[in-house]
Amino acid sequence: MQLNFIVTILFFLSFLAYNVYAEEPVIFDIRNYGAGSGDISQALLDAWTAACNSTAPSIVFIPPGTWQLSQVKLHGPNKAPLELQVQGTLQANPDPSKLPDKDGQWITLNYVDNFTLSGGIFDGQGQQAWRQNDCHKNQNCAKLPINMSFNFIKNSIIRDVTSKNSKNWHVNCISSQNVTFLRFTISAPGDSINTDGIHLGRDTMINITDSIIGTGDDCISIGDEMKDLYIQNVTCGPGHGISIGSLGRNVAEKDVQGVYVRNCTFRGTDNGVRIKTWPSAPAQLQISDLHFEDLIMDNVSNPVIFDQEYCPHNLCKLDKPSLIKISKVTLKNIRGTSATSEVMSFLCSGAKPCENIEVGDIDLTYTGTLGPATTKCDNIKPILVGKQNPPICATPAQSA
């Protein structure tokens, strides 16, 4: 897996070098396509279409200023390297009912290769939508728009971008390959409902690096069929941490393999790193080759939690265990403070116990007064290495 990571970095550097030394790009300024004081959606779409048809490298340029954008769908393919360069702020209509096409997306980018999105603030103005969100209790709730949706993109970089106050998820990245989020900032208050920072699914070789994510739900949520995800130097908070899942409700779900979370900091979050799977659910996939290393927890409620009895709002039954297998996991050099006394919780499946879970160099302190720091372990026999503070599981089967 280290080799794959090196290959990705080499591609990233070669991609930057190409942009530096290639022929001068053609500029497609949205002002030349009718952008003025009103909605720029059509002007942006027209500039994008012209740039996609260019056989020379091109830049779609949004200049400084505040621009109103109702909704836009930017489709490829592009014939040459393409950049969307934003130097201003894009603002959505604060009223979610005003979305022209109520498909749940504000800005969509599909089927591009050698693409760069650079700069800009993408302001979803979600405060009004959060007050209307009742999806936690109403399965027929209105679908709220995601700030940015990336689908079927390859060999691309999203850098120096800020997503602010999305009405729903900030970013949805699906069925994509070799994509880097670099110096990506997500900003929303902790009480903004269902505003996941970056949601990933069915992707290969995704890097999230040197980024700051503060939101009202998972900072990063990981769906099924993920392979080779690298999360490094990310600060999370407020939010619900970095989560794999929830998984298991859909019988067609596929394995998650190769997740690396390293050198990350969690500040005041509900969770640090979490795996959540549904009980009494049909899917029988595997979650394996996970590495959670060199993590700092700062007053985190659940620094480490494996929850294979995930059942929010009593939407399921607990009479049958999860059929998802968690294996080949390392938890190493995790330190800091917990807001609850149960600093690590491993609630694994009775039908598919967790296997080959290595835990070591743990130093987590409980900051409250409700007793000593503890860990909880069901259906797991961890391999213990190095220091464990507090002790990990009362009677582990193996010790190294």
Give residue-wise pLDDT tens across range 340-367: 999 999 999 999 999 999 999 999 999 9
Encode pLDDT of 128-160 as tens digits. 999 988 876 777 777 899 999 999 999 999 999
Please report whether residue 42 resides in a domain. Answer: no
Residue 19 in domain: no
pLDDT recorded at residue 319? 86
Task: Decide if 136 is catalytic.
Answer: no
Q: What is the CATH number of the domain that holds 277?
A: 2.160.20.10
Give the chain's domain count: 1
Q: Is residue 311 part of a domain?
A: yes
Of 86-95, 98-107, 331-340, where does mean pLDDT reach its minimum? 98-107
Q: Select from 116, 26, 112 the least CA-distant residue to 77.
A: 112
Examine the pLDDT at 180 and tell me if it is beyond 60: yes
Sequence-distant (6+) residues with CB within 8 A of 64 are 87, 88
This prediction's pTM: 0.93
For residues 221 and 253, is the Cβ–Cβ distance under 8 A?
Answer: no
DSSP state of 97: G
The encoded tokens of residue 92 equal 């959505």
- CA gap 126, 167 in Å, rounded: 4
pLDDT, tens digit, 9 for 90 and up, residues 23-74: 799 999 999 999 999 999 999 999 999 999 999 999 999 999 999 999 999 9
**Residue 334: CB atoms within 10 Å:** 24
- Is residue 17 very low, low, confident or very high in pLDDT (cuts 50, 70, 90)? very low
Does residue 169 form part of some domain? no
In a domain, 132, yes or no: no
Given 170, 199, 240, 291, which residue is catalytic? Answer: 240
Q: Is 302 a domain residue?
A: yes
User: Domain for residue 2, yes or no?
Assistant: no
Token pair, residue 13, equals 């550097």
Residue 190 is assigned to a structural domain of this protein: no
- Please state which of the ranges 11-20, 89-98, 292-301 shows the lowest mean pLDDT: 11-20
pLDDT at 216 over 50: yes
* pLDDT attached to residue 380: 97
Three-class SS of residue 24? coil
- The residue segments making up the domain with residue 329 are 218-394
Give residue 12's pLDDT: 54
Average pLDDT of the residues in 291-309: 98
Contacts of 365 (CB under 8 A, 6+ apart): 336, 337, 338, 373, 389
